[in-house]
Chain A
Amino acid sequence: MLALDARARLGDFDLDAALAVPGGECLALVGPSGAGKSTLLRVAAGLLRPQYGVVRCGDQLWLDTAGGVDLPPDRRRVGFLFQDYALFGHLSAWRNVAYGLAGSGRAERRRRAHELLERFDLLDRADARPATLSGGERQRVALARALARDPAVLLLDEPLSALDASTRSRASRELLELIGTARVPTVVVTHDFEQAALLADRIAVLASGAIVQTGTASELAARPRSAFVADLTGAVVLLGTAGRDGDLTRVDLEGGGSVASTDEATGPVAATVHPWEVTLEREAARHEDSARNRLGVEVTSVTTVGNRVRVGLLGPQPMAAELTGAAAAGLALAPGVRAVAVFKATATRLVNR
C-alpha cells in the first residue's frame, strides 16, 4: 500500500492531493500538463519535498514533514520510469540495469542484469550504449533498470509519450504485463485518458493541483462529475442552462438550440454525450425516431481512427460523432456538408458547472 498526501505551492496554484494505492493496483494520474501529476510522483520518490506531506509505503514512513522524517530517494525503494528514460549515456545497457543492483559482487550483478534484460527480450543489446538503441529498446532498458532494485512501488511518468505510434502498442502491452506481474502499488502519470484506461485499474483526474474525480475508466466516462472530466474522457461537452421540462430536463444551449436529458439539474450545466452515441442524418432524410435530441450541424472534419470514422461537427457548439466507415460513406460526409446530429436524452449526462 502506497499512501501519499501532499500540499505544495505549484506555479500559480496550490497542489493539494491525497491518494492511496493498494499493492497490485495500478492508479493512473490523468490531467493536463501542469496539473501537478508529475509533482505528486516526484514527492512519492523523494525527488521533491512539499511544504506539507506524508508518504507511507507499507509500514514504512518515507516522508512526514510535520514529524521531521524525509528519507532521501536512494533509501526509498521506488522503481521510477522517467519520461525520457534518463538512461546513463556512458554505460552499456546491462551496466545501466546493474546500476541499481548495489551490494552483490560484479559477476552476480552481471548475471542479474542479463536476466532482467532477457525478460525484456533485450539480451542481444546488452552491450549497446543507449544512444544506439531504438526508442522502444530504451524504454525496456529503463524498465529493466527500474525493476532491478526490487522496488516496493512503481512510479511511471508518461511511460509511452516518448515513443512513436508504431512502437507504442507493443510497449503498452509489455507495460500492462509488467504492471500485472509486479504486484506492487503502481502509479502511472499520463495526459491521455485512453492510455490511462488501458494501463490502470483506477483513474484519478487531476486539475490545477486537486484530484477532481477518482474511479474506473468506465465510471468516469459514464458519470463524469464535471465538464472537465467529461472532456478528458473524450465526450462531447455542450454548455447551457438547465430547467424542468415535464419529466425531463431541458438544456438551452449557448449558441442556440436545446437538448433534453433524463438527468436532473437546474442552472448552468454541461450536457455531455459520447461521440459513439451520436448518429448523423442528412437533412433531407428527416424521419421519425425515438431520439429526442436533434441538432443542426455542419461537418468540419472527417478522420478515420482505426475501424471508426470520427466526424468533427459545428452546431451551436463544436461536437463530434463516431460512425462506422460504411455509415460515413453512405452519408457522403465531407467538410461543409450539412447534417443533423441525433442522440437520445438517456445518453445525455448533465453536470453542474
Chain B
Amino acid sequence: MSRGAAFTALLTAALAVVLTFLALPLVAIFLDVGPGRLVASLDDQGSVEALVLSLRVTLVALAVIVALGTPTAWLLATRSFRGRTLAITLVELPLVVPPAVAGIGLLAALGPRGLLGPALDRAGVELVFQTAGVVVALVFVASPFYIRQALAAFTALDPTVIEASRTLGAGDARTFARVGLPGARAGLVAGGALAWGRALGEFGATLVFAGSLGGVTQTAPLAIYGRFADDFTGALALSAVLVAVSGAILLAVKPAGGGRVLGDARA
C-alpha cells in the first residue's frame, strides 16, 4: 500500500468513526419508537402543543436575530473602529457560555429583581414564565450562530465590488441592500439555519429563565425532558420529530452538490 493510500484509509476510518458516533443515537431514536407508536404518541395534546410552541418561538427569535444581526454583521464587516475586536468577542461569547449560566445571567439582568427588572416592570413587560421570555433566551443563545456566519459572508465579499457600487453612485445603505445582501445570501441563509437549529434545541437557558410551563414556555426539548422519567416512549417520539425537523432545516439550506471542496477554485 502506498503512503498516499494509507493516509486516505486513515482519513476514511476517522470519518467512519465520527459518522457512527454522531448518527447512532439519532438512528436509535427512530429504531426504538417505530412508526406506529410515533404517530400514536403525536396524538398526545401536550406534545403537539410543545411542538407548535417551539416552532412559534423559534421563528420569532429567528426574525429578531436576522433583523438585528444582519446590520450588526455588516457594520462589523465594513468598518474598522476602536473596540471592533471586543465587539466581535462579545457577540461570540454566548457560544461558549453554558446555557444554564446564560439563563442565570438573563435572570440577573431582566428578571423581576434583576438589573433592568424595575424598569421592565414599569413598562409593563413581563418575561419570566412568559412566552416572550423564551424568545429572549433563544435570541441570546442562538444569535452568535447567525452573526458569525453573516460576518464571515460579508467579509468574504470582493471588496472591489463594494467599491464599484460606491463609485456608481450608491451610498452605503444602497450598497448593503443591492450588493452586500445578494452577494452574501448563501452565508446568511446558512447562518439562519444554524441559528434556527440551535434555537429549536435550546434547553438550559429557557428552563432557567422562562421555566417549563405547559403551553406557555414548555418548548419541545423541555417537554421531552418532562416526559423522560415516566413516559420514555413519548419522549422518544417527540425527540424523533425534533430530529426530523432539525435535519430537514439543515438539508434545506445545503447547496446542491455538497458545496465546494478545497481546490475547487482551480476549475
Q: CB distance A148 to B168 under 8 Å? A: yes
Q: Within 8 Å of chain A (Cβ to Cβ): is B179?
A: yes
Q: CB distance B169 to A80 under 8 Å? A: no
Please report the C-alpha to C-alpha distance between residue A83 and residue B163 in the assembled complex, in whole angstroms.
Answer: 12
Q: Within 8 Å of chain A (Cβ to Cβ): is B170?
A: yes
Q: CB distance B183 to A99 under 8 Å? A: no
Residues of A within 8 A of B257 (CB): none
CB-contacts of B125-171 with A (<8 A): 158, 160-161, 163-171
Q: CB distance B164 to A89 under 8 Å? A: no
Among A84, A99, A146, residue most surrounded by chain B Cβ atoms (within 10 Å):
A99
A50-83 toward B: CB 8 Å interface, digit per residue (1/0)?
Answer: 0000000000000000000000111010111011
The chain A residue sitting closest to B171, CB to CB, is: A74
CB distance from B212 to the nearest CB of A (A): 45
Residues of A within 8 A of B178 (CB): 88, 99
Q: Within 8 Å of chain A (Cβ to Cβ): is B35?
A: no
Q: Within 8 Å of chain A (Cβ to Cβ): is B182?
A: yes
Q: Within 8 Å of chain B (Cβ to Cβ): is A178?
A: no
Q: CB distance B160 to A84 under 8 Å? A: yes
Please report the C-alpha to C-alpha distance between residue A79 and residue B178 in the assembled complex, in whole angstroms.
Answer: 19
Please report the C-alpha to C-alpha distance between residue A315 and residue B60 in the assembled complex, in whole angstroms.
Answer: 79
Residues of A within 8 A of B167 (CB): 45, 47, 73-74, 76, 78-80, 146
The chain B residue sitting closest to A145, CB to CB, is: B168
Q: Within 8 Å of chain B (Cβ to Cβ): is A286?
A: no
Q: CB distance A100 to B171 under 8 Å? A: no
Please report the C-alpha to C-alpha distance between residue A191 and residue B179 in the assembled complex, in whole angstroms.
Answer: 30
Residues of A within 8 A of B160 (CB): 82-84, 86
Residues of A within 8 A of B166 (CB): 46-47, 72-74
Residues of A within 8 A of B171 (CB): 72, 74
Residues of B within 8 A of A90 (CB): 182-183
- Total chain B interface residues with beta-carbon distance under 8 A: 17
CB-contacts of A89-108 with B (<8 A): 89-90, 99-100, 102
Q: CB distance A80 to B182 under 8 Å? A: no
Known A-B contacts A73-B163, A82-B160, A99-B178; the reply to A89 vs B183 at CB < 8 A is yes
Known A-B contacts A89-B183, A90-B182; the reply to A100 vs B168 at CB < 8 A is yes
Q: Within 8 Å of chain B (Cβ to Cβ): is A149?
A: yes
Residues of B within 8 A of A74 (CB): 166-171
Please report the C-alpha to C-alpha distance between residue A99 and residue B170 in the assembled complex, in whole angstroms.
Answer: 8
Please report the C-alpha to C-alpha distance between residue A89 and residue B168 in the assembled complex, in whole angstroms.
Answer: 16
Known A-B contacts A82-B163, A84-B160; the reply to A99 vs B182 at CB < 8 A is no
CB distance from A101 to the nearest CB of B (A): 9
The chain A residue sitting closest to B178, CB to CB, is: A99
The chain B residue sitting closest to A80, CB to CB, is: B167
B182-197 toward A: CB 8 Å interface, digit per residue (1/0)?
Answer: 1100000000000000
The 10 lowest CB-CB distance pairs between A and B, nearest first, are: A100-B168, A73-B166, A86-B164, A86-B160, A80-B167, A90-B182, A86-B161, A74-B169, A82-B160, A74-B171
A to B CB contacts below 8 Å, 12 in the list: A45-B167, A72-B171, A73-B166, A73-B167, A80-B163, A86-B164, A88-B164, A88-B182, A90-B183, A100-B168, A146-B168, A149-B168
